[in-house]
A and B are shown apart, each in its own frame.
Chain A
Amino acid sequence: MKKRVLVLLLAFAMVFAFSACGEKKADTDDKDEVLKIGFIYIGSINDKGYTETQHNGTVALQEHFADEVECLWEENIEESTQAVQDSATRLIDNGCTVIVGTSYGFGTPLFEMANSGDYDDVTFLHFSGSDINDTNFGNYFGAMEEPRFLSGVIAGLQTTSNKLGYVAAFDNMEVNIGINAFTLGARSVNPDAQVIVTYTKSWYDPSGEKSAAEALLAQGCDVITQHADTSGPQLAAADAKKFAIGYNLDNSGLEGLEDAYLTAPVWHHDAYLISVVETIKDGTWKPESYYGTMADGYISLAPLTKNVTDEAKAKVEALEKEIKDGTLKIFVGPIKDNQGNVMVEEGETLDRAGIWEVNGVLVEGATATNSGK
C-alpha cells in the first residue's frame, strides 16, 4: 500500500519534472531597472466597487510609468495572517520590492513582515491603517469626509420626503465618519433631513446590500447612499424610481441607473500611487502617513449627472471651492450626537486626528435601524 502511494507520487514528480524541462525561463531573469510593485487585493478586480477602484489606480500607475514599472497583483486574499503573508511572500519572491496592502486587515501581518528584519529592502504601503515605522512601512488614506459632506448636500436638496437611506457595512470608525459627514452636509441645507442607517455587517454582500436598501426605501427614503462595496443599493433605488449616490467609483455608466444615479464620493488611488512611486524610484521616499484631500485630487465627488438639480449643482460647486481652499471644514462645533450629548464643542473644529477619535457615535439627525457590531 505504501509502495502504491509512493509510485503515484513519483509518477507525479516525474511528469512535473519532465514538463519542467520543457522550458528554461528563469523566474528572475529581468534584473534591470524595472521596479516591481505587488498589490494585495481583498476582492476581485472587477467587483464594480472597492477592489475595482483600487485596481483602477494600479492600471493608471502602470500606464503612467509604462515599462519602468511592473505591477503584479493577487486577488481575493483573506484577512488572515497566513493568507496575507503568503501572498506578500509570493510577490516578493517574484521580484517585487514594493508591497501595497489595500485592505485594513492586511496591516498587521504586513507590519510584522516589515519589522522582521528579513524584508528591509522591501517598501510596504498600507491603505487605511495607521501603522508606520522609521524605515520601510507607511500608510495612506483619504479625507473621505469632504466628498461625503458634498454628497449629503445634494441628497438634502433633492429629497422630498426628508428621509435619506444609508446602507453601511459595519458600525466602525471609518464608516461612521462617512455617515456623520453625509448627515452634516444634508442638514446644512435641509435642517429637516433625517438619515436612516442600516448596517449589513459585511463589506461585500450584493443581495444583503440590495435588500437593506429596499427596506430603507419602504420606510420612505427617497435618496439612498452607501458605504458598502456593491452596486446593490443603487440598483434598488433605481428599481423604486428614487435617487442613488454610490461610493468608491463612478457608476454613472451602469445600465439601469440612468434616471437614479446622482454622483458618488470616489477615490483616485493613482493620484497617490504615482507620486509615491516617483519618490521610491528616485530614492527619496520616507515612511509617511498620507491623508489625501480633494485639493490633492486623491478623492472627489464623481461628475454630477443630469439627475442633479441646477440648484444643487451650483451649491456643490461653490462648497467644493471652499473645501479645496480650506475655508470650509466639515466637523465644526457645535455638533451634538443623536443622544443629545455634545460631540464637538462650540468654537472647536476637528482636525484629522480629532476626526479619527470619534468612535461609535452618530450625529444628530442620523439613526441606525440595527446594530452594526
Chain B
Amino acid sequence: MGNEKIITSRRKFLKTATALAGATIGYTWLKSSQILLFAAKPKDESLPWYGIVIDIQKCIGCGNCAKACKNENDVPLEPFYFRTWVEQYTVKNDGSVIIVSPNGGIDGFKQTVPNEDIFKSFFVPKMCNHCSKSPCTQVCPVGATFESPEGVVLIDEKYCIGCRYCVQACPYGCRFIHPVKKVANKCTLCYHRLKKGLAPACMETCPTGARMYGNLRDKNSELVKFLKEHTTMILRPHLNTGSKLYYNALSSEVR
C-alpha cells in the first residue's frame, strides 16, 4: 500500500516537473520569437513629446480652427469629415443639455435657446487626443497607424487596408475614412508643419489663443506651465486612453 502511494506521488512529481520544464522552454522560445513581432523601441528622450491644451473659457466658437484644418489637410468640405470641430453645449435651466455642431462649427453658431432659459453655455473644440495608450493604434491589425516617437498618432496612408477597426475603437469620434483616399484619416497635429517649425493650422488661426501645443517633456514650456497653474481634465478618463489633450474648465456634461 505504502509503496503504491510513493509511486503515484513520484509519478505526480514527474508530471509536474515535465509540465514546468515544458512551460519554461515554451516561454523562452516565445521570448526569442518576439523579434518577429517588431517590439517598439524605447522612446527617444531628445525628441519633444507633444501635448495639447484647449482652454474652453477662451473659445468663442468662430470655427476658424475647423476651417483652417480642412484647408491645410485637404479634407473634403462636406459636413461629414472633420479632423477638428467645435461643439456648443447649452445646459438649460430644466437640466437638459443641448449639443450642436452645425458643419463642425465652420459656419459659426446661431444661438437657438433664449437667454432666459440658459443655465450655462460654452464651446468645446474637439480634435484627436493623441493618446499615449491609444485604443486606435492598439487595434490596427497591420501597423498602419501608430504613435510617432514625438507622441503624435499618425496614419500610414500607403499601408492602411481600410478595415475601419480604428474608427470603431476611437471613443472620441476623431477618425473617419477619407472618401477620396479610401484610408483612415485623422488629425496629425499638422505633423508636416511641426517638422517645419510651424504651429498646427488650427492653432495658427485661433483668434483667442484657446488652443496650445507644446513639449510635455520640457518642464519650462508654456504648456507645462499652463498645466501647472490650471486644473485641467481629459475626456473619458475612465477609459484609460492616456489622452494628451488637456481641457481647461471642462464641464461635466462634455462627452
Task: State whether these chains interact.
Answer: no
Residues of B within 8 A of A (CB): none
Residues of A within 8 A of B (CB): none
